[in-house]
Amino acid sequence: MKKIAILGSGSGSNMQAIADAISAGKINAEIVYVGCDIEGAFLFQRAKNLGLECELIDCLGYKQKFPAEVQSALAEKLKEMGVDLICLAGFMRLVGQPLLQVFPDRILNIHPSLLPAYPGLHAWEQAVDDGATKSGCTVHYVDAGMDTGEIIAQATVPVLPGDTAKTLHERIQIEERKLYPLVVAEVLSKLG
Ligand code: GRF
């Protein structure tokens, strides 16, 4: 059975969706590691409810940076655990070479826009502010850039008249929770 690691910073709804798909037999894998860089994030609670331990990833006091030595230690640990695929699920730090070298083409991310439109933070807000008529989410391989890796799949939602950043984000997140598990299943099946 394939082994998945989840890295997040927030509520963990995408991790939940992946875990639910595993329970439903739609993904033939197990989550063997959950890590979070934000103390007290709801992700810890969700992991606990799923019977999973969530490790606090200590980023040495840096607010945004993902220090190379922290990435190296994590890469080593996940390699030793035999992790096949790392799923970033709302993880707010930029992954770099120490992890990418150990897990080439084995790190996925979900982003709340139709990339290449609106990379980076608050993508849904940018879409509303711009008067975009459609938005959505993208699952992509992670490279060293900000939301620039190869796109695997996208789901589109309309931006409706009267939408606020919040209402659009909620609509996008519904699609995220459907798309991410499907892509994880597909990517894992191709790993053989
Ligand atoms: C999602 O909207 C994802 O696209 C973005 O961060 C959010 C994470 O949500 N990268 P959750 O923690 O999975 O609920």
By 3-state DSSP, what share of the chain in percent is helix, strand and coil, each rounded to 5?
40, 20, 40
pTM: 0.97
Average pLDDT, the chain: 97
For the stretch 83-129, pLDDT in tens is 999 999 999 999 999 999 999 999 999 999 999 999 999 999 999 99
Which DSSP category does 87 fall into? E
User: What are residue 134's DSSP bridge partners?
Assistant: 158
Residue 192 predicted with pLDDT over 90: no
The pair of structure tokens assigned to 78 is: 């996940």
pLDDT category of residue 10 using cuts at 50, 70 and 90: very high
**pLDDT value of residue 30:** 98
Residue 54 predicted with pLDDT over 90: yes
For residue 169, the ligand 1 atom closest to its alpha carbon is 2
**pLDDT value of residue 135:** 97
For the stretch 33-50, pLDDT in tens is 999 999 999 999 999 999
For ligand 1, mutation pick of 45, 91, 95, 176 (most atoms within 8 Å of CB): 176
* Main-chain dihedrals φ then ψ at residue 70, nearest 5 degrees: -70, -40
CA diameter of the chain: 50
Place of tokens 């995220």: 176
Mean pLDDT for 146-163 is 96
Active-site amino acid positions: 111
For residues 123 and 173, give the distance between their C-alpha atoms in angstroms, rounded to a whole number. Answer: 12
**pLDDT value of residue 103:** 98
CA of 118 to the centre of ligand 1 (A): 15
Ligand 1 pocket check for 181: Cβ under 6 Å: no
How many Cα atoms within 13 Å fall on the side-chain side of residue 115?
Answer: 23
For ligand 1, mutation pick of 13, 138, 179 (most atoms within 8 Å of CB): 13
**pLDDT value of residue 138:** 98
CA of 176 to the centre of ligand 1 (A): 8
Ligand 1 pocket check for 176: Cβ under 6 Å: yes
For the stretch 60-81, pLDDT in tens is 999 999 999 999 999 999 999 9
